[in-house]
Amino acid sequence: MKKRMPLAAAAVIATILIVGALSVLPLHSSRLSTIALQAEDFPPRSELIGEGSITPYDVAQPLSSSNSLVSAQHLGEVETFLYRYQEGYKVERVVWDGRSGAFAGNYLYRYADSRQAQAVAQAIHDFLQARSAPTALEQGRRSGRKVQGWIGASQDDEGGLTCWFVGTRDDLLILLIVDGMPSAKATFETLVATLLTR
């Protein structure tokens, strides 16, 4: 006579196998996570603040529905789809350059199509350009093989520097914000050059 495994024991074994199989899957299997800046792209002296999926309800990211990089006057045609991105992803790190620390945030948003991504990029660029105009140090266009966009930098009254890149790749909107002292500009340039290879 064959002995049968009790149903409860079979369920426990099945659960262990499923959990074990899931634990070997990559933490972020999204296309966005492969395009985003990776740990090795940052200077050696950097520390992860946060990484992973984001939604329009996450208030600590640039395209939050309650705290957005696009002002009401720059909404225009993007108002209907600005917060309807299909997925979002972020990588935020503190970078130390030996003299001071800087915040570096890389944000990616996948829209329904390239037209939407480009329209949102243009609206963000227009807003940032208008906002930083009095203290702008640099503005210009950058292009890579698949990624293209704009850079800008402005300095506040206390000497702090904010550098930004707003770009697109097909249906993706790609943002990079580096905020710190003037020495953070070298880190920004390196990170932009890396994003342009994506």
Please say whether the dihedral angle defined by the alpha carbons of residues 128, 133, 138 and 141, taken in this order, is positive or negative.
Answer: positive
Phi-psi group of 49: left, alpha or beta (phi > 0 → left; psi -120 to 50 → alpha; rest → beta):
alpha
Is residue 111 one of the residues assigned to a domain? yes
Query: pLDDT (tens digit, 9 = 90+) per residue, 98-156?
Result: 889 999 999 999 999 999 999 999 999 988 888 776 566 667 788 888 999 999 998 88
Is residue 126 one of the residues assigned to a domain? yes
Query: Does residue 179 contact residue 160 with C-beta atoms inside 8 Å?
Result: yes
Is residue 135 one of the residues assigned to a domain? yes
- Judged against a pLDDT cut of 90, whether residue 6 lies above it is answered with no
> What gap in Å lies between CA 36 and CA 175, rounded to an integer?
10
The domain that contains 144 carries what CATH number? 3.40.1000.70
Is residue 23 one of the residues assigned to a domain? no
Query: pLDDT (tens digit, 9 = 90+) per residue, 122-131?
Result: 999 988 888 7
Is residue 105 one of the residues assigned to a domain? yes
- The count of domains in the chain is 1
Return the pLDDT at 66. Answer: 81
Is residue 81 one of the residues assigned to a domain? yes
Average pLDDT, the chain: 83
Is residue 4 one of the residues assigned to a domain? no
Return the pLDDT at 157. Answer: 85
Q: Residue 119: give the domain boundaries.
A: 28-195
Return the pLDDT at 136. Answer: 60
Is residue 18 one of the residues assigned to a domain? no
